[in-house]
Amino acid sequence: MLALFRTIDMALSIYWWFIIASAIFSWLYAFNVVNPRNQFVGMIGDFLFRVTEPALRPIRNLLPDMGGIDISPIIVLLIIFFVRQLLWTTIAPAFV
């Protein structure tokens, strides 16, 4: 059972980094630091969008319009942090 908890924790950790990479990429794209017409940059952006958008979209739909500021990645990161803490402090000790 511990292996399952470690696998879930690892998947959440990887997704945590995808969220951060997506936020940084969106800033670089918005400020024209990266070339959006470059095929490699486009592939990275498309991958990050497809991976993170299913988690970010429901949060964005719940949040009010904040004038161009998107805090949905922060909320998803907080949710991931909460789930990881819940996993290791509450659920895992019950099975060990």
Largest CA distance in the chain: 52
The pLDDT assigned to 67 comes to: 86
Number of neighbours of residue 47 by Cβ within 10 angstroms: 14
**Residue ranges, the chain, pLDDT below 50:** none
Can you give the pTM of this predicted structure?
0.90
Contact assessment for residue 3 and residue 30, using Cβ atoms and an 8 Å cutoff = no
- Please provide the average confidence, as pLDDT, over all residues in the chain: 95
The pLDDT assigned to 11 comes to: 98
Hey, where are the domains in the chain?
2-95
